[in-house]
Amino acid sequence: MSTSLRMKPDPTFYPTARLAMEAARETIGYVALLSKDKTKPDALAVIDLDPASPRFGTMINQLVLPYVGDELHHYGWSACSSSLCPTSGHAFSERRYLVLPGIRSSRLYIIDTKPDPRAPHIAKIIEPEEVMRKTGYSRPHTVHCGPEGVYISTLGGKGINGDESPAGVFILDCDSFEIRGQWEIDRGDQFAHYDFWWNMPHDYMVSSEWGLPPLFENGVVPAALMGGGYGHKLHFWDLRGRRHIQSIDLGANHQMALEVRPAHEPTKDYGFLGVVIDNTNLEGSIWTWWREGGVFHARKTATIPPEPADAALLPDLLKPFGAVPPLITDIDLSLDDRYLYVACWGTGELRQYDVSDPFAPKLTGSVRAGGIAARTPHVGGGAFHGGPQMLEISRDGQRVYFTNSLYSTWDDQFYPAGVPGQMAMCHVDASGFRLDPAFRIAFGADYGAHQVRLEGGDCSTESFCFAST
C-alpha cells in the first residue's frame, strides 16, 4: 500500500459544489455486493458507466473478499473534496482508496483502485479485534472523508451483542490507515448511532439513530418498532471540539431516523433527514433541520402514506395492517441542492422532490420498480426485486443510480421470495425524471446489492469548504 503524498491536490477534489458539477462524467462505478445466505464472501463489483463503451451498463470486474460473513453495507473514499478545507491538513492526499466496513464482522478493508480503477485490489485488512481494541466500537457503518482523516460511524459498542456501551464515531488516518481512536470528547445523551455528516465552515456535525445491534441484526423487532424502541433523535456536535451540543427528539412514533443530507453549499445552514416509519400510521417522512440564532430546529416537511394491499401479497410482518409502508431507507441530495431523491423500498417507488425551498418540498417526479405488493416490473422488462434502496446521484445531477437490497435479514422479512441484487439508473433532463429501460444490471441470486460509489466522487460523498460563485 502506497502512503506517499502527492505534490498537488487531486484533480477530483473540487473547491465548490458548482465546480464538481462541471467536472467530467463518471465512467466507472463500484457496488457493494453481500452474500445473501452468508455462505460466500462478499464482493465489490466494478460497473462500466461509460456510454461510449461497448460494455456500458454491465459488471466488468468483481473483487471477491477473503472472508465470509462481513456483510458489506456503506463505504466510501479515504479522501475527497473536503481535503481542500484550510483546516484539513490532507490537501495532497488522493482519491484512490475505498474503505469498506463489514457491518457484521467489524472488519475493515482498504481497497486500492490504482493503477487500474477497473481492477481494484486489497491493500490492507484491519481485523475486528483491532477495531474494537482501539475504539471500543463495533459494527462500522458510514464512511466519510473529512477534515481530520476518515470518519467512520458505528452501530455497536462493546460486548458480543454490541449493546454494552454507546456506538459512535472513530477516526482512521487517511494516509497510513492507522486507527486513531474515538472521535467524541463529550457525547451528551447520544447512545445509538446511524448516519452523520457536517457543515465544515460552520463547524458542526449532525448525526442520526437506527438502533443497537439486537434491534437490527436478526431482523426488525416488531415489539420494539411499535413500542418506540428504535432511534428517533437528531444530534448536533461541535465538529472541531468533538462535543455534543444539542439533541432534537422527533417523537418516539417516528421510528428509525436514518440518512442525513446537509446542503452541499456551505453557506446554507440546513439539511434533510429521512425517517423510515411512523408507527401510528405507517407513513414515512422527510424532515428539514436548520440552525437559527445558534440553535438547531427540525420539522416534518413531507410525508409519504402507506399503500393499501391484499394481505395475501404481504409478508407476515405486515399482514395485520393490510397495507405497505413506504419504508424510506435512503435519501440523496443533488449537488446544486435542488432535488432530493427519496427511496421508498417498501412500495417500490423512487420520488424526486424539488427542495429549492427546503421547508416546502414539491413532488416533481416518480418512478416505480419492484415493491412488496406492487411488484412493478422494470420499465425495460423483467422483474425488479425488492425496491429502490441505496441511491447515488452523478455530480452533474443528470443520473440517479439505485440498488435494491437493504440488509440481509430485513430483505428476508419484507421480501420472503428473495432480493437478488440489481442496479438501475434514472435520467434527469428536460424530458423529466425517468427510468432508463436499457440499464438494468443483475448480480445473480447469491448476492444482494447495496452502496454505490462513483469514480471522481458523488453526491453522498462530497463536502465543500468554499462557496460557489
Is 311 strand, coil or helix?
helix
- Would residue 330 count as lying in a domain? yes
How many domains does one find in the chain?
Answer: 1
Assess contact for 254 and 275: CB atoms under 8 A: yes
pLDDT at residue 2, rounded to an integer: 53
Q: What does the pLDDT look like over 359-409, one tens digit per residue?
A: 999 999 999 999 999 999 999 999 999 999 999 999 999 999 999 999 999
In terms of pTM, does the model score above 0.75?
yes
Q: What does the pLDDT look like over 265-301, one tens digit per residue?
A: 999 999 999 999 999 999 999 999 999 999 999 999 9
Which CATH number characterizes residue 325's domain? 2.130.10.10
Q: Compute the radius of gyration of the chain from its Cα atoms.
A: 20
Residues 6+ apart with CB under 8 A from 178: 172
- Would residue 301 count as lying in a domain? yes
pLDDT at residue 275, rounded to an integer: 98
pLDDT at residue 148, rounded to an integer: 84
- Would residue 461 count as lying in a domain? no
pLDDT band of 330, cuts 50, 70, 90: very high
Q: What does the pLDDT look like over 73-99, one tens digit per residue?
A: 999 999 999 999 887 767 678 999 999
Please say if the pLDDT value at position 4 is more than 70. no
- Would residue 11 count as lying in a domain? no
- Would residue 459 count as lying in a domain? no
- Backbone φ and ψ of 409, nearest 5°: -70, -30
Task: State the average pLDDT for the chain.
Answer: 96
Gap between the Cα atoms of 31 and 73, Å rounded: 10
- Would residue 148 count as lying in a domain? yes
Gap between the Cα atoms of 276 and 344, Å rounded: 9
CA distances from 186 to 55, 189, 195, 293 (A): 50, 9, 18, 23
pLDDT at residue 284, rounded to an integer: 98
Which domain covers residue 74, as residue numbers? 17-454
Assess contact for 321 and 339: CB atoms under 8 A: no
- Would residue 232 count as lying in a domain? yes
- Would residue 467 count as lying in a domain? no
